[in-house]
Amino acid sequence: MTHLTAHIERRQSKRFKVAEGAFAALINHNNKLGQIRDISAKGLSFRYIDSQEGPSEARELKIILGSGGLCVEGIPFKEVTDFEIKSEFSFSSIKMRRIGLEFGELTPQQRSRLNTFIENHTIGEA
């Protein structure tokens, strides 16, 4: 007898791939900065270099556009996932990680700027 397990999608909103040049930063004593991979109205994920400095304890999330000047600051969040990404180059000593964050309660201004970001800086569904 075989057991089939169905994948249950837990996300409540569509996730979109993000265009090059968009970054997320967790601000604290050991900052994490990386390129955003995907985003939704409820959260995002980004890749960052693993500095191995211990737990983050970050209090602030920023979304920054390198070329467009858009910046959304002070986003409340909860960490959902954080895992190592296998390097495509076996000789590389740099360890990369991918972190997934769920947004907390956003202000109307943060929500508006986030929606503008999704409308103008994504390249299709993830």
| pTM of the predicted protein model | 0.82
For residues 28 and 56, the answer to whether their CB atoms sit within 8 Å is yes
Q: pLDDT tens digits for 4-51?
A: 444 344 556 899 999 999 999 998 767 889 999 999 999 999 999 887
Q: How far apart are CA 109 and CA 20, in angstroms?
A: 24
Domain parsing of the chain, residue ranges = 23-125
Task: Judge contact between 39 and 15, C-beta under 8 A.
Answer: yes
Q: How many other C-beta atoms can be found within 10 angstroms of the C-beta atom of residue 36?
A: 23
Determine contact, residues 36/66, Cβ cutoff 8 Å. Answer: no
- 41-89 confidence digits (pLDDT tens): 999 999 998 877 666 677 789 999 877 677 899 999 999 999 999 877 7
- CATH architecture type of domain 23-125: Beta Barrel (2.40)
